[in-house]
Copies of this chain bind each other. A is one copy, B any other.
Amino acid sequence: MDKEITIYDIAKEVGLSPTTVSRALSNHPRVKENTKEKILTAAKKMGYQSNIFASSLRKKRSKSIGVIIPKLNSPFQSSVMAGMEEIATQAGYNLVISQSTESLEKEITNATTMFNSRVDGLLVSKAGTTDDIEHFSPFFKKHIPVLFFDRVPENNNCTGVVINNTQAIYDATSHLIKEGCKRIVHVLGNLKINVYADRLKGYKYALLDHGIVFEEKNVINSDLGEESGDRIVEQILTLNPKPDGLLVSNDACAASCLMALKRKNIRIPEDIAIVGFNNDLISRMVEPNLSTINYPSYHMGEVAMKNLINHLDDEDHEILQKTNTITLRHELIIRGSSKR
């Protein structure tokens, strides 16, 4: 293993001080163009590689950003990640990623790891199951910005990037009602997660505003997995009278329900109209095509990352202090599964 080249070696080579070399390398304005060039040339020639550890140690910044998400292998979340990566790379930040696999315990471990690796900022989509954000307090104490997206904790003063879930499901529900549905079933996930709690609200409000009585039995809790269609459909069919509308909180599960219903010879949308959520690929591939809510996942990643980086690069670090919630635009996309 050949020895590492340091700024001292370069300094010796060009007959200048290490300081000047350091300054030249980081493009400091008070270095003569001439010498800057000389140094850069020497650096390249000697195969110099800046030592980021030493630099970080001195500057107390890692130029890296941590992300904690529930699951990497989800169309929605991986798309958010892609947006984040784009922006981070562009801005010269490294992305350190870990997943909580929906476990609070793992989320806590991940947070600790991120803290110990001294990320400059943290982006989190909560594992759900609780609003507890105590495990991020080391960040808060050290004023390391933490920004939540999609799944945000309630009742706190962290910044969050979200869509208006209440309004989205309100729109979807209203649409179904307009299409003539009277008995709409809503399938959603863990109500401890803001996303689903908000959607339930939107569902209730829409019913209310259209003079339909809300009934507890029309709300089904599910893991929203791609395999759960049969189970959900079975449960739906015990209802009497049978429902004529179905609102499922993600497209994979909605598609699974759609397939299960078709296997039971129930016609979509005539017998039951369906609306999903996310606008994943799958929504365009099932038959009939699934109506859904377009969730701007990639864009959400971009926006979250942009705001975090702006905050970090801002001299006064006050951008996020002043921002509570950033709400992105969603959109109801009506397709064959609900248009009758």
Contacts and interface: CB of A to CB of B under 8 A. Distances in A.
Interface string A96-125: 111100000000011001011110000000
A86 B103 CA distance: 13
A72 B81 contact: yes
A252 interface: yes
A86 B99 CA distance: 8
A232 B107 CA distance: 44
A85 interface: yes
Nearest to A89: B98
A340 interface: no
Interface residues of A, number: 55
Given A73-B298, A96-B96, A89 B118 contact: no
Interface stretch (A30-38, A47-55, A150-158): A47-55
A226 interface: yes
Contacts of A95: 96-98
Count this chain's copies in the assembly: 2
B116 A50 contact: yes
Interface string A63-87: 1100000011111011101100110
B85 A49 contact: no
A164 B336 CA distance: 40
A85 B97 contact: yes
15 contacts: A1-B142, A50-B116, A52-B117, A72-B79, A73-B75, A73-B78, A74-B78, A78-B78, A81-B97, A82-B99, A85-B98, A89-B113, A94-B98, A94-B113, A285-B285
Counting from the closest, the 5 A-B pairs by CB-CB distance are A78-B78, A53-B57, A73-B82, A72-B82, A53-B56
Interface of A: 1, 49-54, 56-57, 60, 62-64, 71-75, 77-79, 81-82, 85-86, 89, 94-99, 109-110, 113, 115-118, 138, 142-143, 226, 252, 255-256, 259, 262, 281-282, 284-287, 298
Given A64-B96, A78-B78, A282-B285, 4 more contacts: A49-B115, A54-B57, A75-B75, A96-B97
